[in-house]
Structure 1
């Protein structure tokens, strides 16, 4: 667990977060890896994991009949899978590893429980997620306007 704690504490998403919160979040985490072209999840799946990318690149895709459209590509230091945060906890996109990808995977039910039990932790998580979600909405809007 010591190695995992170090990895969680060292991820840019958690920069400046209180050690007590890092300790709690580490209990929800595990290391995972995805091979090139492997899907982390598909649109419509249950949002049971949050991923913080450590290495590699992931394409965020929307599906349309007969094709997928990449709306954004994210890499090291970024998050994938924010749907864990909002009911009904379903994926709004698909996420596909472009190359070998290593990530921290956080159990969504564990995260929600920890945030509910400690509202200071929940607020810290929201402050970190909201700017990312707004940036992703803007990217999707640009994609629509340019497409």
Structure 2
């Protein structure tokens, strides 16, 4: 097991993934460190990396013209940031900024897409794990929107 592979298997999103698939993921991965305030992702930039957060906290933000950067969600260890590399035209839709010292595993999206085409079972395994995260984020966003658009005069 490699130095990159071991932490991937310990992270919540990839827990239980087939060991051979973890090894293939690790082949596209490297360690990354971000200091507080560092930008991991910038909206509109090319989407080429999936970050698996091992330590620290990351704010996912979007720019609102009248308000500036608005936090959408805060994620920590065991979560992922940046899955736009999965979908053409491979552009980022949000910003992600380190709120604390962040240790992450950075997985190259183009490398991973190439491995998916060579090994569809790997693609299915990874996407099955990431789909759960997408569902949870969509549900959390729905709840936040209910709070934002709640009518305090009713009920």
Fold similarity call, TM over 0.5:
yes
Residue 81 of structure 2 contacts residue 96 of structure 2 at CA under 8 Å; is this kept in 1? yes
Residue 9 of structure 2 contacts residue 16 of structure 2 at CA under 8 Å; is this kept in 1? no
- State how 1:105-144 maps to structure 2 within 5 Å: 105-144=106-145
TM-score, scaled relative to structure 1:
0.93
Residue 71 of structure 1 contacts residue 139 of structure 1 at CA under 8 Å; is this kept in 2? no
**Structure 2: distance between partners of 1:60 and 1:130:** 18
Cα deviation, residue 85, structure 1: 1.0
Give every structure 1 segment of 4 or more consecutive aligned residues whose post-TM-superposition deviation is greater than 3 Å.
none
Q: Secondary structure at the match of 1:2?
A: coil
TM-score, scaled relative to structure 2:
0.89
Cα deviation, residue 96, structure 1: 0.6
Q: Secondary structure at the match of 1:62?
A: strand
Which segments of 5 or more consecutive residues in structure 2 lack a partner in the other structure?
A: 149-155
RMSD value over aligned CA atoms?
Answer: 1.4
Cα deviation, residue 2, structure 1: 2.6
Which segments of 5 or more consecutive residues in structure 1 lack a partner in the other structure?
A: none
Cα deviation, residue 144, structure 1: 2.2
Residue 58 of structure 1 contacts residue 75 of structure 1 at CA under 8 Å; is this kept in 2? yes
